Amino acid sequence: MSGIPRTMRAWRVEEITEAGRMQLREVEVPRPGPDQYLVRVEAAGLAFGDTLIVRGRYQIKPPLPFTPGSEVVGTVVAGEGGEIAVGTRIASSSRQGGFAEYALVPRAEAVAIPEGMDAGDALALRSNYPTSLYALRVAGRLAPGETLLVHAAAGGVGSAALQLGRLLGARVIATAGSERKRQACLDAGADAALDYADPAWVDAFRRAAPGGADVIYDPVGGEVGAQSLRCLAFGARYLVIGFAGGTLTPLPANRLLLHNASAVGVLWGEVRKRDLALAAQLTREVYGWHAQGRIRLMPGQPFGFAQAPEALAALEGRATVGKAWLRVPS
């Protein structure tokens, strides 16, 4: 691989600890296989799953040692024979390995992006937005005029759901855990923004939407999820996106029964594996809408490469707004 260094810096998980410790190491640059590109990483996305995988709590458990990070923006530097030429700037899911100066990405996951596109925007459009579009359109069957309740709406996937809900013609009520985040939701176009840490948030929602929520988008889980089922409209769809609150949602089935409602799990990674054509279509749509100015991303939060542990702590502590990501110096 001419012109590519033999070694690189990478954050490594060498043992599973409750603290989720990572070490910055000098390791060999990986070599691409027949279905991979090698990418010089410019930016690595941060997702809540990263805070779990470094602690061994995620459903995917890579063998030790490993480099976390499943989202990258960068330039293809090796991998002949694919549809994307060497020298092309891309955004991709990397299936771990993103917190490094170079990463391998599956050819099927790489999307060419404009040179001038903001790295944080490109990462959000590659991961958070297709996730949320699948959740709202396919799993949630969100229709124009319906009411959408989005929890953690100032976070990565939540802010995407807020924007896409508006684009799909819904009335969007957001929840977030701080005044700064609630203002960010209002600035992004939410019709109302509530504090899900307030014990009375359900009453506040009912005042804002007496008919209830037709679709509930919930990446928080736990008690927030359980209380959400008090907000159901008849025929509502409660979308299980994740458990950022730290505990699974105890689903009171009687509330689903009384409202003829359904609870639907959404795991975008499985959709990408099982229906490549659908995943590609949704990804093309969100990039197209962004190019047309139809969606306006909530400003993200970049961190320096050396700040990776602090960045994951900030994400876990719900101190970030919009898409969080690492700048990887060239």
Q: Are residues 112 and 152 in the same domain?
A: no
Share the mean pLDDT of the chain.
94
**CA–CA separation, 243 vs 230, rounded Å?**
18
Q: Are residues 182 and 87 in the same domain?
A: no
Q: Are residues 185 and 95 in the same domain?
A: no
Q: Are residues 36 and 134 in the same domain?
A: no
245 or 147, higher pLDDT: 147
Q: What phi and psi, each to the nearest 5 degrees, are found at residue 110? A: -85, 135
Question: Does 94 score more than 80 pLDDT?
Answer: no
Q: Are residues 139 and 263 in the same domain?
A: yes
Burial label for 6, CB within 10 Å (0-12, 13-18, 19+), is exposed
Q: What is the pLDDT of residue 141?
A: 98
CATH of the domain at 37: 3.90.180.10
For the chain, percent of residues with pLDDT exceeding 90: 81
Condensed to tens digits (0 to 9), the pLDDT of residues 258-289 reads 999 999 999 988 898 899 899 999 999 999 99
Q: What is the pLDDT of residue 98?
A: 96
CA distances from 240 to 15, 219, 221, 257, 321 (A): 30, 7, 8, 17, 21
**CA–CA separation, 175 vs 177, rounded Å?**
7
Q: Are residues 257 and 212 in the same domain?
A: yes
3-class DSSP state for residue 219?
coil
CATH of the domain at 143: 3.40.50.720
Would you say the C-alpha torsion 194, 195, 200, 202 has a positive or negative sign?
A: positive
Q: Are residues 101 and 164 in the same domain?
A: no
Whether 2 is covered by a domain: the verdict is no
Question: Does 130 score more than 70 pLDDT?
Answer: yes
Q: Are residues 99 and 77 in the same domain?
A: yes
Whether 287 is covered by a domain: the verdict is no
Question: Does 245 score more than 90 pLDDT?
Answer: no
Whether 144 is covered by a domain: the verdict is yes
Whether 122 is covered by a domain: the verdict is no
Q: Are residues 83 and 162 in the same domain?
A: no
Q: What is the pLDDT of residue 156?
A: 92
**CA–CA separation, 20 vs 39, rounded Å?**
26
**CA–CA separation, 143 vs 110, rounded Å?**
31
Q: Which residue is listed with tokens 């009687």?
A: 254
Report whether 175 contacts 195 (CB < 8 A).
yes
* Full domain range(s) for residue 163: 128-269
Which whole number is the average pLDDT over 243-257? 87
What residues have CB less than 8 Å from 292, skipping those under 6 apart?
none
**CA–CA separation, 115 vs 226, rounded Å?**
44
DSSP state letter for 161 = H
Q: Are residues 146 and 240 in the same domain?
A: yes
Q: What phi and psi, each to the nearest 5 degrees, are found at residue 35? A: -115, 25
Which whole number is the average pLDDT over 62-78? 96
Report whether 151 contacts 158 (CB < 8 A).
yes
Residue ending a domain, choose from 269, 284, 310: 269
Q: What is the pLDDT of residue 1?
A: 64
Which whole number is the average pLDDT over 124-146? 97
Whether 286 is covered by a domain: the verdict is no
Whether 288 is covered by a domain: the verdict is no
Whether 200 is covered by a domain: the verdict is yes
Whether 163 is covered by a domain: the verdict is yes
- Helix locations, 109-200, DSSP H: 119-126, 128-133, 156-167, 179-187
Which whole number is the average pLDDT over 57-82? 91
**CA–CA separation, 73 vs 85, rounded Å?**
15
Report whether 200 contacts 190 (CB < 8 A).
no
Residue ending a domain, choose from 222, 248, 269: 269
CA distances from 55 to 21, 58, 62, 253 (A): 8, 8, 11, 32
| Strand blocks (E) in 65-190 | 71-78, 89-93, 102-106, 111-112, 147-150, 171-176
Backbone φ/ψ region at 145: left (φ over 0), alpha (ψ -120 to 50), beta: left
Q: Are residues 192 and 84 in the same domain?
A: no
Q: Are residues 170 and 100 in the same domain?
A: no
3-class DSSP state for residue 274?
helix
Among 190, 139, 146, 193, CA closest to 168: 146
**CA–CA separation, 197 vs 242, rounded Å?**
17
Question: Does 149 score more than 80 pLDDT?
Answer: yes
Residue ending a domain, choose from 249, 269, 289: 269
Q: What is the pLDDT of residue 308?
A: 97
| Structural domain count, the chain | 2
Which whole number is the average pLDDT over 236-254? 89
Rounded to 10°, the helix 276-291/119-126 angle is: 140
